[in-house]
């Protein structure tokens, strides 16, 4: 068995490694020459894959920038990005480029699976026609399925192996083949009737999170005005053994998924004369959170009789979530941008992010930021003693609820 993986990012590289560890030969393709060179050298650029693991698999993973190389494999997984255009519409260019190139080399008997998150209908309407360009057709020489990726970067309790995987093929045989493939790396497969169900299920998962995060963010703003501790409210509500699921407020959503994917469905819904109001409202509230957090920082400084202009403000954690160095859409970037416009002198500590070139900032050590006028906890990475940082800080703004239970003055919590 040999597997081709197109797109070697947060989704594609762990998949390539999983198949290689299961004993398969993997042809790993990316346009990015630097990534390909690193894989060839056994050096990982994704936190969830250690360089030791990658190094040990060098004989099984063949990394290349030449997509034609996947022609000799039995199955090809497409894991390219699905971003939004500047007008917040689906940008399928990376997917269509990969599909067009694959369509030029696809062979009879191959199974092609799309893993990138996208709107219902993409596999059937966009991918399949490009794969059929050389005369093969789905069901006759070609199998095609959609299987959404559920990887949660930085997470160790749920991995590719023990997270159920949804699979929807264009035909029952396509589903069957895709299930058989994933059985090598995944314990629980969830076959569904067609690709559209699988595409929509992934969007439902992400929209569910986006809407619930927005709800609790809105309540956090209200609790602030009412002078109630939102964290105590949430903890009390979470004691209900049924009918409640805990979500925590924070500085806003980041990463490739939550700020982006729901709008794929919003766009698609327009074709069906629907406006997806929950999605829009959740997006609006979550996008406002970094600005609200700036206001909380300003208020905290004001209480300490300091203006933002000229104050030394240090961010603690700038990636979009704990345990990863991914800064895509990170709310920390928006907070830094707004504070910089207002004249703050900024620095940051994040062991996963060596530099933020767009702001001319380099990672400072934790010790170096301790004398800032205010330290703002934006993203809580593991292995940091937040209690000790709070004790040493002049003023500490906690946007993640990590300091609950600490009775310290000069501490402000979202
Ligand atoms: N990151 C996550 O946590 C996550 C989770 C679930 C689903 N997804 C979805 O998976 C998809 C990929 O996300 P990601 O986070 O791995 O993205 P990523 O940006 O980390 O990786 C994508 C890779 O694809 C490469 N690429 C782009 N166009 C290409 C082409 N035409 N041919 C070959 N390579 C190409 C890029 O160079 C990049 O290395 C997206 O649709 C995303 O929504 C992501």
- Locate the ligand 1 atom nearest the alpha carbon of residue 29 and give its number: 33
Phi, psi (deg, nearest 5) at residue 392 = -85, -20
Structure confidence at residue 405 (pLDDT): 87
- Pair 384, 366: CB distance under 8 Å: yes
Query: Coil, strand, or helix at residue 144?
Result: strand
- Residues 268 and 89 sit within 8 Å (Cβ to Cβ): no
Q: Where are the alpha helices (DSSP H) in 183-330?
A: 195-225, 230-237, 262-270, 277-303
Measure the CA–CA gap between 153 and 14, rounded to whole angstroms: 10
Quote the DSSP letter at residue 126: I
Q: Which of 30, 47, 265 to mutate to test the pocket of ligand 1 (most atoms within 8 A of CB)?
A: 30
Residue 55's CB is within 10 A of a number of other CB atoms, namely 12
pLDDT exceeds 90 at position 27: yes
Residue 98 host element (H or E): helix 93-103
Per DSSP, 373 falls in state S
At 156, the pLDDT band (50, 70, 90 cuts) reads: confident
pLDDT at 47: 87
Helix (H, G, I), strand (E, B) or coil at 374: strand
Quote the CA–CA distance of 185 and 112 in Å, as a whole number. 17
Which pTM does this prediction carry? 0.94
- Which residues neighbour 173 within 8 Å (Cβ) at sequence distance 6 or greater? 139, 143
Contacts for 4 with CB less than 8 Å, ≥ 6 apart: 26, 27, 28, 29, 69, 70, 73, 75, 76, 77
| Atom 21 of ligand 1, nearest CA residue | 9
Ligand 1 centroid to Cα of residue 34, in Å, is: 15
- φ/ψ of 334, rounded to 5, equals -70, -40
Which residue puts its alpha carbon closest to atom 18 of ligand 1?
9
C-alpha span between 339 and 330 (Å, rounded): 15
State the catalytic residues. 257
Distance CA 383, CA 381 (A): 7
Mean pLDDT of the chain: 96
pLDDT of residue 390: 95
Q: Whose CA is nearest to atom 41 of ligand 1?
A: 116
**What pLDDT score was predicted for residue 121?**
98
Question: Tell me, what's the pLDDT at 177?
Answer: 97
Report residue 66 as tokens: 């030449």
Assign 79 to helix, strand or coil. Answer: coil
Q: Which of 81, 130, 209 to mutate to test the pocket of ligand 1 (most atoms within 8 A of CB)?
A: 81
Q: How far is the C-alpha of 168 from the C-alpha of 268, rounded, in Å?
A: 19
CA 4 to ligand 1 center in whole angstroms: 15
Interatomic CA distance for residues 26 and 16, integer angstroms: 6
Percentage of the residues of the chain whose pLDDT score is greater than 70: 100
Mutate-to-test residue for ligand 1 from 79, 158, 207, highest number of ligand atoms within 8 A of CB: 79
pLDDT given for residue 218 in this prediction = 98
Strand partners, 316: 349, 377
Which residues partner with 156 through β-bridges? none
What values do phi and psi take at 311, rounded to 5?
-75, 145
Pocket of ligand 1 (CB under 6 A): 6-12, 29-32, 35, 79-82, 94, 97-98, 115-117, 149, 151, 153, 256-257, 261
Q: How far is the CA of 402 from the centre of ligand 1 (A)?
A: 31
- Cα(171) to centroid of ligand 1, in Å? 26
User: How far does residue 234's CA lie from ligand 1's centre (Å)?
Assistant: 34
């Amino acid at each position: 068995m040999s597997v081709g993986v197109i797109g070697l990012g947060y989704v594609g590289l762990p998949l390539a490694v999983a198949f290689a560890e299961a004993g398969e030969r993997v042809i790993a393709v990316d346009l990015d020459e630097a990534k390909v060179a690193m894989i060839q050298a056994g050096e990982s650029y994704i936190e969830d894959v250690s360089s030791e693991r990658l190094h040990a698999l060098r004989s099984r993973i063949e990394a290349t920038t030449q997509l034609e190389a996947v022609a000799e494999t039995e199955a090809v997984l497409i894991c390219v990005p699905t971003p939004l255009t500047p007008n917040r519409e689906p940008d399928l260019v990376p997917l269509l480029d990969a599909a067009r190139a694959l369509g030029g080399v696809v062979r009879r008997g191959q199974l092609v699976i799309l893993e990138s998150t996208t709107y219902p209908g993409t596999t059937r309407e966009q991918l399949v026609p490009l794969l059929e360009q050389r005369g093969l057709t789905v069901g006759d020489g070609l199998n095609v399925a959609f299987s959404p990726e559920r990887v949660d970067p930085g997470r160790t309790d749920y991995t590719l192996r023990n997270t159920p995987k949804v699979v929807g093929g264009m035909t029952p045989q396509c589903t069957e083949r895709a299930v058989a493939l994933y059985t090598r790396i995944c314990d629980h497969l969830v076959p569904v009737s067609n690709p559209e169900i699988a595409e929509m299920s992934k969007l439902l998962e992400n929209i569910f999170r986006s809407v619930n995060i927005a709800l609790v963010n809105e309540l956090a703003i209200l609790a602030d005005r009412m002078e109630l501790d939102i964290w105590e409210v949430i903890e009390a509500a979470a004691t209900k053994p049924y009918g409640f699921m805990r979500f925590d407020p924070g500085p806003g959503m980041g990463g490739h998924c939550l700020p982006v994917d729901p709008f794929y469905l919003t766009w698609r819904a327009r074709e069906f004369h629907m406006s997806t109001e929950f999605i829009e409202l959740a997006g609006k509230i979550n996008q406002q959170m970094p600005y609200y957090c700036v206001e909380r920082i300003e208020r905290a400084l004001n209480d300490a009789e300091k203006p933002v202009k000229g104050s030394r403000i240090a961010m603690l954690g700038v990636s979009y979530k704990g345990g990863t160095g991914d800064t895509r859409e990170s709310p920390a970037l928006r907070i830094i941008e707004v504070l910089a416009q207002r004249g703050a002198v900024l620095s940051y500590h994040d062991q996963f992010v060596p530099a933020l070139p767009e702001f001319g900032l380099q990672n400072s050590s934790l010790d170096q930021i301790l004398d800032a006028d205010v330290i703002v906890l934006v993203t809580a990475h593991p292995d940091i003693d937040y209690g000790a940082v709070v004790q040493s800080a002049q003023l500490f703004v906690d946007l993640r609820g990590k300091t609950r239970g600490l009775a310290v003055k000069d501490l402000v919590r979202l």
